[in-house]
Structure 1
């Protein structure tokens, strides 16, 4: 295959936030004024304090550490013992000697305390402590020295970050701080050992929590980063569960119009996504998994909503999706069967003959029209090395 057909290596060699629009996987993002961010934080914090003062239930579940010393003055004497323990665990996050136990206990309670995200974000020093936990294991990633204990500890911190990422009132603050970028070194690891797999899966869970609510703001942020190539590699080489979360993230990006247009804007991006999806189809022929197949079909279906991508898919959609290869695994999945049927209908409209003018594909490919026959055999390729070999984390 012509080397010029491969994606630009600059697309995958850097995982930090980058405002240079010349890099294909990157967008520029307007800077956030410090005053505006501080005003937003102050307003959210004051709103939270008001809830605490006006609601006994909120007081029982949402008092920040910075207010803990003022329980008597605020009329919050009736906080339950269980919630006092929760507040104590949050205070323990500030002490390195007690942090590990506090992380474990709070990760268990994150579903039981509705406003835990607000408490974590607005309590002095807590987010800094969580970020220290994240950064502290960077040196164990390359070479691979991550132990099960270290993995469990940082994953408990990630679980609390997921809590913050999920909450409507802290999600934007989470993005403005660019916290997702601190997780990308974990997604960039390749070791298949359980500690690393657990670390990747939990990190994916944080990103999955961000995209779950179909926020264009979240998608636009992620498009400024290299989350797509990172997810693509996990979709190829990860465990079944990691593949499922990674493709869920890609699917959510595709479902947003900005994400679809971004991926279909250049040949390199479309080729990268299409190649990995097709390779997943080949893998699913051997190990049929309905959960993964559902997401693969939905990704192809969404790609077919773009005119240029639709024209390319008419040439290269994997044959197992056209025939009855997956009929047994989809027997009880009516929704995915409908999606697959709609995909085939989309690709059958206005089918061009082989002598037709492939104008749409030419636009997608730029000035190079020779990629069409190359792409028609897409399902036989493995993911290009420049996609899978992302720059390793510097020690």
Structure 2
């Protein structure tokens, strides 16, 4: 079996794009993130770089043969790398085979134990002087296989019930200045994001009990831009479910909600000062504010604590460049009763819940506004709540 060698050097620009694709591409709405990032960099969306040519993997039995090589210690590293690279290349064009690989890995004897053993072995290296590029890339390849298991509808909940995702939390929270480890952290975060984005009650309850919200808060405070974006994806998925938003807005967890608001306030202030930093982070922060507005306590908190930079036109230049952010910002301002310069029409939208129900949100229409008025007239409610009606990704 031909091996696909990793470049032992540090990450260059092309490799940075490949890491971003590896961690973001399976998350819902991630296409919008990539487009916002690409537009800001004045280039096309992230390319995949040079694809690995693995024609041998097209043979029907080669995937199972590769998984069996995990049991041979001297073959394990190359087999894991080989399979993870193949899945990265093929997951969009051959989604059925990608999901089949996740099913095989989870249900084949002892395979998950071997992958967890790889993570535990990495734990022993988690001191700054013992980390180098090769074991970090080996870890990232294992996490890429976990993505595959998490993305499969048949294995996702069993994967969570097995306790395996809990092994990722120390990796997410580990403090390291090595750049390549930060990319591996983004893959670990994306596994959690893939698990949570389906908003299945059992998985969300696991996420809450495992302090995933608090872990995401830590990443948003201290993480890189890519990790902050993925953490915001996870928070959005949790907040869009009644279980998650009730947890965050519960008075018992007052410090959590106030801490998130403070962190978002600091982030918005930073983005207002340097608008070249990350339009997609602003996009996600505004979405989180909007989602919180669907909860009574969350609405009151957002209305009371909305950053000045959101309301004083600091982002006018950015919103001109990115209409989707302008639409979200207008929705937020209308939701909290602030004036907007150009009220816009929007259709009634539904906020889906994991239970299969929908919350019908009140909206306002341009026709309900007088030509002189800049304050929205609400239709059927004294509180106007908006969520994006445009499909993102």
TM-score band, normalised by shorter chain: 0.5 to 0.7
Any idea what SS the aligned residue of 1:320 has? helix
Aligned-pair distance for 1:250? 0.8
Task: Provide Cα deviations, 1:117-151, integer angstroms capped at 9, x if missing partner.
Answer: 11101111111111111111112223552211000
> Mean alpha-carbon deviation: is it higher for 139-148 or for 272-281?
139-148
Residue 138 of structure 2 corresponds to residue 153 of structure 1: yes
Deviation at 1:194? 1.5
Aligned match of 2:295: 306
Contact residue 188 and residue 230 of structure 1 kept, 8 A: yes
2:280 corresponding residue in structure 1:
291
Q: Scaled by the length of structure 1, what TM-score is found? A: 0.65
Cross-structure match for 1:39: none
1:347 to 299, 320, 336: 336
**Offset at 1:332?**
4.0
Q: Could you say what secondary structure the match of 1:223 adopts?
A: helix
Give the structure 2 partner of residue 315 of structure 1.
Answer: 304
Contact 1:232–1:273 (8 Å) recurs in 2: yes
- Show the counterpart of 1:142: 127
Find the counterpart in structure 1 of residue 73 from structure 2: 96
Distance in 2, matches of 1:89 and 1:206, equals: 22
**Residue pair 1:294, 1:336 contacting (<8 A) in 2 also:** yes
Deviation, 1:313, is 2.4
- CA distance 1:124–1:131, shift in 2 (3 Å): same
Task: State the 1:81 CA deviation.
Answer: 6.0
Q: Is contact 1:164–1:171 with CA below 8 Å preserved after alignment?
A: yes
> What is the aligned partner in structure 1 of residue 59 from structure 2?
82
- Cα distance in structure 1, aligned partners of 2:238 and 2:57: 42
Structure 1 distance, partners of 2:149, 2:123, is 22
Tell me: higher relative CO, structure 1 or 2? Use CA pairs within 8 A at least 6 residues apart: 1
Q: Is the 8 A contact 2:63 2:101 kept in 1?
A: no
How many residues are aligned here? Answer: 271
State the partner residue of 2:246. 261
Preserved CA contact (<8 Å) 2:245 2:295: yes
Q: Residue 326 in 1 paired to residue 303 in 2?
A: no
Query: 1:167 Cα shift?
Result: 0.4
User: Which residue does the alignment assign to 2:259?
Assistant: 272
Bigger shift: residues 111-120 or 249-258: 111-120
For the pair 1:215 / 2:215, whether they are aligned, the reply is no
Structure 1 residues 198-207 or 302-311, which shifts more?
A: 302-311
> What is the aligned counterpart of 1:336 among 325, 336, 344?
325
Over alpha carbons, which structure has the higher Rg?
1
Aligned 8 A contact 1:148 1:194 in 2: no
Query: In 2 relative to 1, CA 332–214 (structure 1 residues): closer, same or farther, beyond 3 Å?
Result: farther
The whole-number CA distance in structure 2 between the counterparts of 1:293 and 1:284 is 7
Deviations 1:61-100 (A, max 9, x none): xxxxxxxxxxxxxxxxxx9863333222111011111110
Distance 1:104 1:220, change over 3 A: same
CA distance in 2, matches of 1:325, 1:213: 35
CA contact (8 A) 1:247 1:296 kept: yes
* Contact residue 304 and residue 313 of structure 1 kept, 8 A: yes
Check whether the contact 1:146–1:195 (CA below 8 A) recurs between aligned residues.
no
The Cα of 1:240 is off from its aligned counterpart by: 1.1
CA distance in 1, matches of 2:194, 2:103: 16
Matched residue, 1:230: 215
* Counterpart-to-counterpart distance in 1, 2:112 and 2:125: 22
**TM-score with structure 2 setting the length:** 0.66
Shift of 1:212: 2.5
Counterpart secondary structure, 2:120: helix
1:204 is the counterpart of 2:189 = yes
Distance 2:221 2:256 in 1: 16
> Partners of 1:291 and 1:134 in 2: how far apart?
31
* Residue 346 (structure 1) shift: 2.0
Mapped to 2, the partners of 1:287 and 1:216 lie a distance apart of 39
Q: CA RMSD in A?
A: 1.8
CA distance in 2, matches of 1:154, 1:80: 22
Asked if the contact 2:289–2:332 (Cα under 8 Å) also holds between the matched residues in 1, the reply is yes
Cα offset for 1:197? 0.5
Q: Deviations over 1:198-219 (max 9, x none)?
A: 2211100111111222323321
Partners of 2:58 and 2:166 lie apart in 1 by 37
Please show how residues 122-201 of structure 1 align to structure 2 within 5 Å: 122-143=107-128, 145-201=130-186
Q: CA deviation at 1:290?
A: 1.4
SS at match of 1:222: helix
